Amino acid sequence: MPWVVQQVARRERLPIRLFLAAGLCETGRCDLAGILEASRILRDMLRIKG
């Protein structure tokens, strides 16, 4: 799990709004999440937290 997602998961919900953007070609290599995958994981965590 990407570091920033772990930090979001540990903390209480804050009254802020975020905008995430990544291109379809910004993928990872060598079993590491790239910007696209990490952004999608972060998006899912933020949705879970409300």
* Chain segment 3-35, per-residue pLDDT in tens: 888 998 999 988 988 888 888 777 777 777 788
The DSSP symbol for 48 reads H
Which H helix or E strand runs over 5?
helix 3-10
Mean pLDDT across 25-46: 82
pLDDT at 36 over 90: no
Mean pLDDT across 31-47: 85
